[in-house]
Amino acid sequence: MVGLAALSFAGTIETIPAVHTDAAARVWIAPNYGKRYHFNRNCRGLYRAKNHVRHVTLHYAKAHHYTHCRISGDRY
């Protein structure tokens, strides 16, 4: 993740939120239970999968045609 600091027009230093890159971000998928990826292991979209989930890179998930979970509020 990359985080930056920026000087605002008011002269104060503000932090810019970290940006996930495909190479660094890790997501959760449930291969036998759908084609969505989740940033949070506790997302209710993974409920049916229980312990049948895998922790993979975001790049892997996108390359295998997984799409972002619509339940999770964590988007970027």
Predicted confidence pLDDT, tens digits, the chain (76 residues): 445 555 556 667 766 555 555 567 999 999 999 999 999 999 999 999 988 999 999 999 999 999 999 886 655 5
pLDDT score at 1: 46
pLDDT score at 71: 87
Cβ-based burial of 42 (10 A; exposed 0-12, middle 13-18, buried ≥19): exposed
| Contact indicator for 69, 37 with CB cutoff of 8 Å | yes
| Contact indicator for 52, 27 with CB cutoff of 8 Å | no
Pairing of strands 36-38, 26-29: antiparallel
> pTM score > 0.75 for this model?
no
